[in-house]
Amino acid sequence: MTYYSQTMLIAELSSMGITDSNVLNAITQVPRDHFMSAALANRAYENTALPIACEQTISQPFIVALMTQAVMTAKPNKVLEIGTGSGYQAAILSLLVEQVVSIERIKTLYETAKEYLAKQGYDNIICHYGDGFKGYPQGAPYDGILVTAASEKIPDALCQQLAEGGKLIIPVGGYGSQRLLEITREGENFHQKLLDHVIFVPLLPGTSTD
């Protein structure tokens, strides 16, 4: 059995078109094995999605890198993440931007990620328990919004929370026909660009944002 190292993963991501050295460096600095169960830790650096608690997943490293690289083209200072999950994506973003606001609808995941990220010193991440469809208008506008679950349609609330020139990175569509889109705001116009075809867990409504 082959055990993949972080070095092997970075080489693979580079070969797949991840060219932003800052993104690659951030992925190198965040230990993916710390964001999953000990039983799966030996698979942490495989380029594949893996299960976490509450029937959710930690995204494939290539997709994490692709979404991060896309949102960074807006040169963001503040990014809103919809779907904290394990906290892995938020941790990577925290090394690249001044502030990350992250929303999670599943209370167990929210509590676990919030506690772990705080313990590890990711002090520029603000976690909230709430409904990702609504975003977090109290903190808007955001230079970037990154959604880690698939929506049947693009939530208007998220578009309206984008700053001018900001980018929304979101998987859209039903299971088996999802498209990862980069949406750039220009006034009240929102320009779409296809990044990839993907498979994500569905974006579901949660409670009111705290």
Q: What are the percentages of helix, strand and coil residues in the chain, rounded to 5?
A: 35, 30, 35
Residue 101: what are its φ and ψ, rounded to 5°?
-110, 125
**Across-strand partners of 197?**
179
Which of 15, 21, 37, 59 is labelled catalytic? 59
Contact 55, 202 (CB under 8 A): no
125-129, strands of its sheet edge to edge: 125-129, 99-104, 78-82, 142-147, 162-172, 178-186, 189-198
Cα separation, 140 vs 125, in Å, equals: 15
Instruction: Judge whether 59 counts as a catalytic residue.
Output: yes
Q: Considering only CA atoms, which of 153, 179, 182 is closest in space to residue 167?
A: 182
The tally of CA atoms less than 13 A away on the side-chain side of residue 57 is 16
Cα separation, 154 vs 93, in Å, equals: 22
Cα separation, 162 vs 178, in Å, equals: 22
Residue 155 Cα distances to 1, 12, 180, angstroms: 43, 33, 14
Residues with catalytic function = 59
